[in-house]
């Protein structure tokens, strides 16, 4: 076990990000588990915390097959997998309908977690994207690609643990990756935590509210 729990991982990861303490940083957490890690980082860096909600856009007849992803933002940010769209014969109207449903789910979740709180502005800022670990990297990759459209000054991916191969791919997409442990043989993320209990929506809300607002 590397970490006692996500709070422990967050504190250790925050120290690895100390050079950003006085920079114009915004911390974006991938719910749910990433919020507990990101809370510690935001406190340590004295940075604002926001959520980055990502939903897969699945092929309607094969929803496990991703033809794109939609990412939370001031406006919906869509990443398309044109190869899958073509192979599946998905029309533009069908893609739009599927995308709209996923965006409605993102909006529902954001209202549940943050109410009417505004999005943090990322334009021209250093953005630190946080999760409690990376398995395939697909969600994080979609988040990076989408955030590029918002023109932050720098994108930093920060995770406690990740497979070396997936981290290398993310390092090509982000400006920097900060990872505390990259095992040669990667098990499930939970294998690296003593306590990896699932967080409830109420847990996420309480964590967000525990971070003081930053001007």
What CATH number is attached to the domain comprising 65? 3.30.1310
Q: What is the mean pLDDT of residues 107-135?
A: 89
Kindly state whether residue 214 falls inside one of the protein's structural domains. no
- Model confidence band, residue 213 (pLDDT cutoffs 50, 70, 90): confident
Do 133 and 201 fall within a single domain? Answer: yes
Q: Tell whether the model's pLDDT for residue 64 goes beyond 80.
A: no
* pLDDT of the residue at 1: 63
Mean residue pLDDT across the chain: 90
Kindly state whether residue 83 falls inside one of the protein's structural domains. yes
Residue with tokens 């006085």: 22
Domain termination site, one of 65, 93, 112: 112
Q: Domain containing 13 — which CATH number? A: 3.40.50.2020
Kindly state whether residue 193 falls inside one of the protein's structural domains. yes
- Model confidence band, residue 215 (pLDDT cutoffs 50, 70, 90): low
Do 69 and 92 fall within a single domain? Answer: yes
Lowest model confidence (mean pLDDT) among 70-74, 108-112, 121-125, 187-191: 70-74
Do 61 and 48 fall within a single domain? Answer: no
Do 63 and 41 fall within a single domain? Answer: no
Structural domains counted in the chain: 2
Domain range for 93: 54-112
Most confident range (mean pLDDT) of 32-41, 130-139, 203-212 is 32-41
Do 28 and 59 fall within a single domain? Answer: no
**Crossing angle (nearest 10°) for helices 92-114 and 201-209:** 60
pTM: 0.86
Q: Tell whether the model's pLDDT for residue 120 goes beyond 70.
A: yes
Residues 71-105: tens digit of each pLDDT: 887 677 888 888 889 999 999 999 999 999 999 98
Domain termination site, one of 112, 139, 157: 112
Do 186 and 92 fall within a single domain? Answer: no
Do 158 and 185 fall within a single domain? Answer: yes
Count CB atoms within 10 A of the CB of residue 119. 17
Do 31 and 68 fall within a single domain? Answer: no
Do 43 and 133 fall within a single domain? Answer: yes
* pLDDT of the residue at 182: 92
């Amino acid at each position: 076990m590397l970490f006692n729990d996500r709070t422990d991982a967050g504190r250790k990861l925050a120290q690895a990000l100390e050079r950003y303490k006085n920079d114009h940083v915004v911390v974006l957490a991938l719910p749910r588990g990433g919020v507990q890690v990101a809370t510690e980082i935001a406190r340590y860096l004295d940075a604002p915390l926001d959520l980055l909600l990502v939903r897969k856009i699945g092929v309607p007849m094969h929803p496990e097959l991703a033809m794109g992803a939609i990412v939370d933002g001031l406006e919906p940010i869509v990443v398309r997998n044109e190869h899958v769209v073509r192979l599946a014969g998905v029309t533009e109207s069908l893609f739009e309908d599927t995308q709209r449903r996923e965006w409605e789910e993102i909006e529902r979740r954001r209202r549940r977690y943050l109410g009417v709180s505004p999005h943090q502005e990322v334009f021209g800022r250093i953005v630190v994207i946080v999760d409690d670990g990376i398995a395939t990297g697909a969600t994080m990759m979609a988040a990076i690609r989408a955030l590029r459209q918002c023109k932050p000054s720098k994108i930093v991916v920060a995770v406690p643990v990740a497979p070396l191969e997936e981290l290398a791919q993310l390092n090509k997409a982000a400006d920097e990756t900060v990872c505390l442990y990259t095992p040669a043989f990667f098990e499930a993320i939970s294998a690296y935590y003593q306590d990896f209990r699932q967080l409830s929506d109420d847990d996420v809300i309480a964590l967000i509210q525990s971070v003081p607002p930053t001007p």
